[in-house]
Structure 1
Amino acid sequence: MKKILVIEDERSMRETILELLEAEGFQGIGAENGSIGIQKAQEYLPDLILCDVVMPHLDGYGVLSSLRHNPATATIPFIFLTAMGARERVREGMQMGADDYLTKPFTAEELLGAIASRFARQAILTSQSQQQLDDLRNSIALSLPHELRTPLHGILGLAGLLLEDYQTIERQEILEIAEGIYAAADRLHRLIQNYLLYVELELTTKDLNRITRLRSASTHYPKVLIANVATQIAKRYGRETDLFLNLENTVVQIADLKLHKIAEELIDNAFKFSKAGTAIQLTTVADAEGLTLWITNHGRGMTADQIASLGAYMQFERKFYEQQGSGLGLAIAKRLVELHGGSLSIESTPGQQTTIQVTLPGSHQVSTNPRL
């Protein structure tokens, strides 16, 4: 049974609508003002909301704004009920995210028609979302086994070599084999950790309390943190001379470990997908809004379609490249940035240059009512 919340301060109107809904097989939930309506929306998570515009204390626009800022209620279909038919007010409501607008007085047929239309539209959106989820599942099912097998084969192969020839292998060879086993195991461990983190972040997007806790920490010296991460990665690739830093500092509303993860994934990709001898440039600019980071490499790049299709386990042009990488790290970085109220964008010219821009809010910029 679908639940419909009716937020209407006029008692007779509210009760009439609720009686009609119950007669049509819906579960009606009434709220006599905007504040109570918000509370009941968060408590019941209805399938649709009917809301009067003109109400004391908190009007319909305030209700809609509050609900759209809460991830748990942001996508609930919302229909305004109002005696005002002015075009400007209709446009205002639609711009704020209302799905429909009924002008009082309306007939039972008009109300039920609007409800049916919203549910039909919601069914289409749900089907599209399910298709996207199925695509992700299929991508994971196809890519994850390969990504796991590659380092695992290395571990098994090198360990088997030790078991078969341990009596004749020289000490230096044993060291090299041990280093190979460690590198493959480290890659496997990182892949598993990234997969688990990605799942955790996807769950976090649906939980307002988790988002609030995530945004409660701050980093006071992002300049130092980013420089350290970049230097370590450049050293690992043997490309210290390719790294160029121009960093400013300000306090950002994100925990050190989370910022470290973002920087690690993005900078590692910059080195991984560019050739030795080409520059990797990192620039940060601090202002009143927070911190903006640019990471530029002169590697293979991505097309506009590839950027638009960015997702976990997306393999761009894999058959032409030997570099391993599931795209999961980039998806994790993007999700972490968004969960902290920031943004991540990519500009790229294939075969020439890629620039990733990350914007993170300052410690005073994050709202207490998180919005993705």
Structure 2
Amino acid sequence: MSKILVIEDEEDIRTIVVEILRAENFDVIEAENGEIGVELAKNELPGLIICDIKMPKLDGYGVMIQLRENPSTQTIPLIFLTAKSMKSDLRMGMELGADDYLTKPFTRDELLGAVTTRLAKQMAVEQESQKKVDELRNNITHSLPHELRTPLNGILNLAQFLIEDYDTIERNEALEMLQEICVSGERLYRLTHNFLLYAELARIEQQPKQVRKLLNSGEQSFTRTIIQDLAIQISQKVNRKEDLQLELQEAVVKISQSKFTKIVEEIIDNALKFSELGNSIQIQSYFQDNYFNILVIDHGRGMTPTQIAKLGAYMQFDRQLYEQQGSGLGLIIAKLLTELHGGELNINSFPGKQTIVHVMLPGKLSI
């Protein structure tokens, strides 16, 4: 059965609620005040929280605010217990994100009805989320052979040609083929790395304790040099350094250098891949309200709202028309890395005109 956390400062009421739930075979943990309740919620990650509003030290609203600010607890459903029935109290709780109310005194049936309803809704949400993950993995499984086969075929065919015509091939022609083999090898390496990285991130996403470990790792990165160096390096590979427009503010983000580098690499690469030579790529960064912001703006073909909503690791929209190489995995990896570190990645696009990828990560100004 689901684990339920009961936060109630009145011992007699807490005992009654706990006994009713345990009689129905629920796994119940309890806390006598809001501060203890928040810590238990973070450590135990219950499937449902029942919380009194009026408590010493930290009231129910304070509990709600702290839970919603923490990525590992922000989606746990919460039922408020209250002796109040004023509309202002109900409205305040709902605005903070409460899922339901029980007004004291309540009956056993009212308590169990509220609990079973919330748990059923939460299970439906989780099942839908798992369905999307399964669909995503299934599509990746289908796309993986093709994406790996293309560079691998290039390597094998060119290598075979070099072996067969070793005695007659011109030196310059051989060098060109070796360079193409190197490019295909690099592409194959990146594809393999991205597929393995996605699988690891998807696994971590389903394990709240691993998410909490990432959030509390204490790793930090300075941003400006990483963004600037990557932008120049990636754009030079496709002869588009002149298209870059950089406006960067230094800041420190709460993420390791390697993971921050990966996020930046993928969103810049995406902008260059889906826009034409001569069209500007604007990269801006700034710090605001405890978050570091980076915007990558390109003026390529863009995406429709439907395409953005369906963005997945396996999708490359209009591939038959544009034939860009790649698995389409980059943006979803950047999004997962960002969200696993307490941030957000949003896309705003106007088809045929402009796409803006906006990443926000917790951080601080560089001293």
TM-score normalised by length of structure 2: 0.89
Aligned length: 362
Q: Does 1:117 align with 2:123?
A: no
Tell me the equivalent position of 1:369: none
- State which drifts further: 353-362 or 166-175: 353-362
Tell me the equivalent position of 1:216: 219
| Cα distance in 1 between the residues matched to 2:47 and 2:361 | 34
| Cα distance in 1 between the residues matched to 2:30 and 2:246 | 58
Query: 1:302-354, CA deviations, whole angstroms, 9 ceiling, x for partnerless residues?
Result: 11111122222222112222111222111122233334444332222222222
1:203 to partner: Cα distance: 4.2
Tell me the equivalent position of 1:231: 232
1:249 to partner: Cα distance: 3.4
Tell me the equivalent position of 2:53: 53
Tell me the equivalent position of 2:266: 265
| Cα distance in 2 between the residues matched to 1:342 and 1:126 | 21
Counterpart of 1:9 in 2: which secondary structure?
A: coil
| Cα distance in 2 between the residues matched to 1:86 and 1:349 | 46
| Cα distance in 2 between the residues matched to 1:301 and 1:68 | 33
**Conserved 8 A contact 1:49-1:76:** yes
**Conserved 8 A contact 2:290-2:363:** yes
Query: 1:109-167, CA deviations, whole angstroms, 9 ceiling, x for partnerless residues?
Result: 11111112112212221221121112111221122222111111111211222232223
| Cα distance in 2 between the residues matched to 1:284 and 1:22 | 52
Structure 2 vs 1, CA of residues 211 and 240 (structure 1 numbering), >3 Å: closer, same or farther? same
Any residues of structure 2 matched to 1:208-357 within 5 Å, and which?
208-213=212-217, 216-219=219-222, 222-286=223-287, 289=290, 291-357=292-358
1:43 to partner: Cα distance: 4.1
Structure 2 vs 1, CA of residues 192 and 115 (structure 1 numbering), >3 Å: closer, same or farther? same
Tell me the equivalent position of 2:32: 32
1:6 to partner: Cα distance: 1.9
**Conserved 8 A contact 2:215-2:342:** no
What amino acid sits opposite 1:16 in the alignment? Answer: I
1:358 to partner: Cα distance: 3.0
**Conserved 8 A contact 2:262-2:334:** yes
- State which drifts further: 337-346 or 235-244: 337-346
Gaps of 5+ in 2: none
Counterpart of 2:358 in 1: which secondary structure?
A: strand
Structure 2 vs 1, CA of residues 246 and 212 (structure 1 numbering), >3 Å: closer, same or farther? same
- State which drifts further: 326-335 or 356-365: 356-365
- State which drifts further: 288-297 or 108-117: 288-297
**Conserved 8 A contact 1:46-1:76:** yes
- State which drifts further: 102-111 or 339-348: 339-348
**Conserved 8 A contact 2:295-2:356:** yes
Any residues of structure 2 matched to 1:200-211 within 5 Å, and which?
200-205=200-205, 206=208, 207-211=211-215
Tell me the equivalent position of 2:108: 108
Structure 2 vs 1, CA of residues 79 and 291 (structure 1 numbering), >3 Å: closer, same or farther? closer
1:297 to partner: Cα distance: 2.1
Identity %: 53
CA RMSD in angstroms, aligned pairs only: 2.4
- State which drifts further: 138-147 or 167-176: 167-176
Tell me the equivalent position of 1:160: 160
Structure 2 vs 1, CA of residues 23 and 325 (structure 1 numbering), >3 Å: closer, same or farther? same
Counterpart of 1:363 in 2: which secondary structure?
A: strand
Structure 2 vs 1, CA of residues 144 and 342 (structure 1 numbering), >3 Å: closer, same or farther? same
What amino acid sits opposite 1:237 in the alignment? Answer: V
Any residues of structure 2 matched to 1:184-195 within 5 Å, and which?
184-195=184-195
Query: 1:198-231, CA deviations, whole angstroms, 9 ceiling, x for partnerless residues?
Result: 3333444432122221x53130xx3333222222
Tell me the equivalent position of 1:368: none
Structure 2 vs 1, CA of residues 359 and 13 (structure 1 numbering), >3 Å: closer, same or farther? closer
Any residues of structure 2 matched to 1:72-151 within 5 Å, and which?
72-151=72-151
Structure 2 vs 1, CA of residues 297 and 35 (structure 1 numbering), >3 Å: closer, same or farther? closer
Structure 2 vs 1, CA of residues 203 and 211 (structure 1 numbering), >3 Å: closer, same or farther? farther
What amino acid sits opposite 1:218 in the alignment? Answer: S
1:29 to partner: Cα distance: 2.6
What amino acid sits opposite 2:129 in the alignment? Answer: S
- State which drifts further: 260-269 or 82-91: 260-269
1:360 to partner: Cα distance: 4.0
| Cα distance in 2 between the residues matched to 1:142 and 1:109 | 49
| Cα distance in 2 between the residues matched to 1:3 and 1:244 | 52
Q: Does 1:13 align with 2:17?
A: no
Structure 2 vs 1, CA of residues 363 and 24 (structure 1 numbering), >3 Å: closer, same or farther? same
Structure 2 vs 1, CA of residues 306 and 257 (structure 1 numbering), >3 Å: closer, same or farther? same
Query: 1:52-101, CA deviations, whole angstroms, 9 ceiling, x for partnerless residues?
Result: 11122222222223333333333222111111111111111122221110
| Cα distance in 2 between the residues matched to 1:56 and 1:288 | 30
| Cα distance in 2 between the residues matched to 1:318 and 1:172 | 33
Counterpart of 2:16 in 1: which secondary structure?
A: helix
- State which drifts further: 166-175 or 334-343: 334-343
What amino acid sits opposite 2:221 in the alignment? Answer: S
Structure 2 vs 1, CA of residues 251 and 12 (structure 1 numbering), >3 Å: closer, same or farther? closer
**Conserved 8 A contact 2:67-2:74:** yes
| Cα distance in 2 between the residues matched to 1:127 and 1:73 | 18
- State which drifts further: 185-194 or 162-171: 162-171
